[in-house]
Structures are given as C-alpha cells and as structure tokens.
Amino acid sequence: MVKSKTVSESIYIYTAVFLFLHDTVTNVTTTQTALCIIPPEHVWKQIQSIRSIHDQAYPRWMSHINLIYPFTAEKNFDNIKAQLKPVVNRKTPFQIVFDLSSFDYIGQRDDQCTFHLRPKISTDAVELQKVIKNKRAFEAHLTLGQATVSKISDILDEIKARWTTTEFTVDRVYMISRENHPENLFTINNLHLILIQIQWVLIQRHHVFF
C-alpha cells in the first residue's frame, strides 16, 4: 500500500523546490539555457512559417513558451530535474489554444515592438510557472517576431487572415541549452524533459500521493 503524504510533507516539497530554484536559478543565471514549454512538432508549421519571416531568433530557438529564462547552467540540469519532478509530476496535463484572439504585441524602444501569441486561456500555464518559481508577474506567450509599431496592425491583419486555430496538450516541460552547440542553437535533450503525469487525475480520485 502506498503511504499518503501529509499536508506538511507536501508543503515541505514545494518550499524545498522554491528555495533550490532561488539559490540555483535566481542568483546564477545564463541566457544559454531555458526552462520552457515546447509545442509538439505537428503544430509547428504555421508558427514557424511566421517566425521564419519576422523573428530574428528563429534560427536559434524552436517554437517555445519560456517558463524561466535566463535559466541555470547546463551542469545543474540533473539536480534541477530531481528537484522539480515531485512538483511538476503532480500537475495535470492541460490544453493550450491559440486562436485569433491570441495575437498581441508589446511596445519596445522607439517605434519597435515584439508580437506574440498568448494562450486563449493562460491560467494553467501561469499556475505551472508559479508552482515552479512562484513568480507572480508571469505572462505566458510564444514570440512570433519583431516589427515597428507603425506597421504591426498590417502585419497582424495579414497573418490573421491565414491563421488556423491551433491547440495542443502540455504534458511536459523542457530544459534546453545552447551552451555546447557549435552553431549556438538551442537543442532539446529528452534526458532533460520533465513529464506531467497523466495518471495524476486518476490518482487524485483515490487520494493517493506518491
């Protein structure tokens, strides 16, 4: 029989993760790594077709939603994964939908802006990030490109005219790195992904905690 964890034990696990991430991620970070959500490749096509034209970072990044960036050095990945698994494994997989209402942009310096996709409902992504880092000001988004504010309306109108609503399941998070890539490109290493347990829904019904 599996022994259930008490509330105090669960709180301890969450606190330990927050303290670990504070010490390992907050104090020593690098733009060479990230903790993120990566959509499955079958939904990349129309996203990447936009990014290939408009996003300066297209060659370096795959389609992604950053949860923590900058992140920690790649040498810390194994320790980070061990600390995050007890928490992330307890989350339920969720859906992300990008429809016509998802397009938005943020003004930068002068006439510049960055435009992106925001999930139609972002609550689950925000809660996932909060569980990992407890950062309140997080806004989930997938960057599509850069433009000038004076042209952004025309660009978005053109993109929306061809856009098909995209939906996918988030059931894992990734630690990615470009530290050792000869062309400075971020790569996915399946050893450094953390699964969100689909079985968690069934486990909850029986009040069993691993």
Q: How far apart are CA 92 and CA 133, in angstroms?
A: 17
Which pair of tokens denotes residue 14? 């969450």
* 103-107 and 94-98 strand pairing: unpaired
Per-residue model confidence (pLDDT) at position 90? 86
Helix (H, G, I), strand (E, B) or coil at 146: strand
Tell me the C-alpha to C-alpha distance, in Å, between residue 81 and each of 85, 88, 169: 6, 10, 21
Residue 193: the pLDDT is 87
Residues 187 and 181 sit within 8 Å (Cβ to Cβ)? yes
| pLDDT confidence of residue 22 | 52
E strands within the chain? 33-37, 65-68, 94-98, 103-107, 112-117, 142-148, 166-170, 172-177, 187-195
Give the C-alpha separation, 126 to 129, whole Å. Answer: 5
Contact of 72 with 190, CB cutoff 8 Å: no
Q: Residue 125: is it exposed, middle or buried by C-beta count within 10 angstroms (0-12/13-18/19+)?
A: buried
Planar angle of CA 130, 133, 138, nearest 5 degrees = 55
Strands of 38-186, DSSP E: 65-68, 94-98, 103-107, 112-117, 142-148, 166-170, 172-177
Report the C-alpha gap between 186 and 137 in whole angstroms. 25
Which of 32, 1, 5 has its CA nearest to residue 209?
5
Rounded to whole angstroms, the Cα distance separating 47 from 49 reads 5
Q: Mean pLDDT lowest for which of 6-20, 39-53, 121-135, 195-209? A: 6-20
- DSSP class of residue 76 equals G
Average pLDDT of the segment spanning 53-70 = 96
Asked if the 5-195 domain carries CATH number 3.90.1140.10, the reply is yes
Considering only residues 136 and 180, tell me which one the structure prediction assigns the higher pLDDT.
Answer: 180
**Quick one: pLDDT at residue 190?**
82
- 203 vs 164, more confident: 164
207 vs 137, higher pLDDT: 137
Predicted TM-score (pTM) of the model is: 0.82
